[in-house]
Amino acid sequence: MKNLLSLRSVLIFGGAGFVGSNWASRLLNSTSARVHVFDNLSRRGVEQNLSWLRQHAVAPERLKITVGDIRDAALVAEAVAGASEIYHFAAQVAVTSSLSDPRHDFQVNALGTLNILEAARNSRRQPFILFTSTNKVYGNLRQRQLVLTGRRYCALDEKGVSESEPLDLYSPYGCSKGTADQYVHDYSRIFALPTVVFRMSCIAGPRQFGNEDQGWVAHFVHSALQSKPLTIYGNGRQVRDVLSIDDLMSAFERVRERMEKTAGQIYNVGGGTANSASLVEVIDQIEKITGKKIRFRLERPRLGDQLFYVTDYHKLQKHTGWKPKRNLRQTIQSIYEWAKQEARAAGSLAVRPLTPALLERIPEAAS
């Protein structure tokens, strides 16, 4: 087993992001894998993530960083050539951005994914590939029977969404991610690449620089600490399930360890019914944990928003034994503790601002 681990060469597209940097840290600190982070550094906070990663890695000499874009097929092929495992987290992540620029959304999410798959196929190494898709491929789920009770919507069938739910690619973002999702799945069937697709719900945890479009739980916590009002699109009773970043890391490990079972599979991944809450219920919990009152205003729902999404993760549990260990309150608490630590380091009760003095620029082609 030690020999097998020492041969691991892991490539992480989008490796400077929230999920990618946490996964890179996990690999560097708990395995002997060589880790190659590939990222275009376009998202807020990612330079800080890379600085943190290099400072806290047990073996930073096993970390390689490439600043590049997955739309660059030649650069992608060069990165993929030596990889035994590929984790594809790079994406355009916002429904709102996909509406304003559908072409860019398609080029990043669909064409970028095809570049990675073609590079993997042509490398002839048959690398393991894990792609993070989204629950948005199921559309707005308007056909679900819901009832509004108190501060949340409830599903009459009391069931989460399983992989048997029909795809309904709603919005350009849903279309581009759904296209990528199906390409990854089909490259396993047609070209025998050992691929896995995770259709993920809300992921949350420390070191997340959230906003309205992604990372909303962290966005709510940071807004509370900074006394900034929130905008809620809809009535705030819409329901999501939340999964801790630590539990997601465990899911990555499980599917890779059980490739004989998981290769070629699609899994819905999230916190499940036990970790579901409406937006206003999450606000209630944040107020209790932080002692801060959160002000918010209501706006019209956004296109493609789901009133109710809760993951049925039993297929993944059946195949790997995985299930979430952290509950929603623990996840919120972990974000709060990290944010307080950052605030103390910055000298005020706020998330540290991203000023040039705090950013460590990454060389164009670090090695």
How many Cβ atoms are within 10 Å of 190's Cβ, its own excluded?
Answer: 9
Q: Strand pairing of 9-13 and 128-134? A: unpaired
CA distance 1 to 186: 30
Considering the candidates 138, 170, 173, 183, report the single residue annotated as catalytic. Answer: 173
**Which residues neighbour 114 within 8 Å (Cβ) at sequence distance 6 or greater?**
180, 183
Pair of tokens at residue 306: 């789901």
- Beta carbons within 8 Å of 186's beta carbon, 6+ residues apart: none
Strand ranges (E), 279-339: 296-299, 308-309
The number of C-alpha atoms within 13 Å of 185 and in the hemisphere containing its C-beta is 15
Does the active-site annotation cover 173?
Answer: yes
Give the residue numbers marked as catalytic.
173
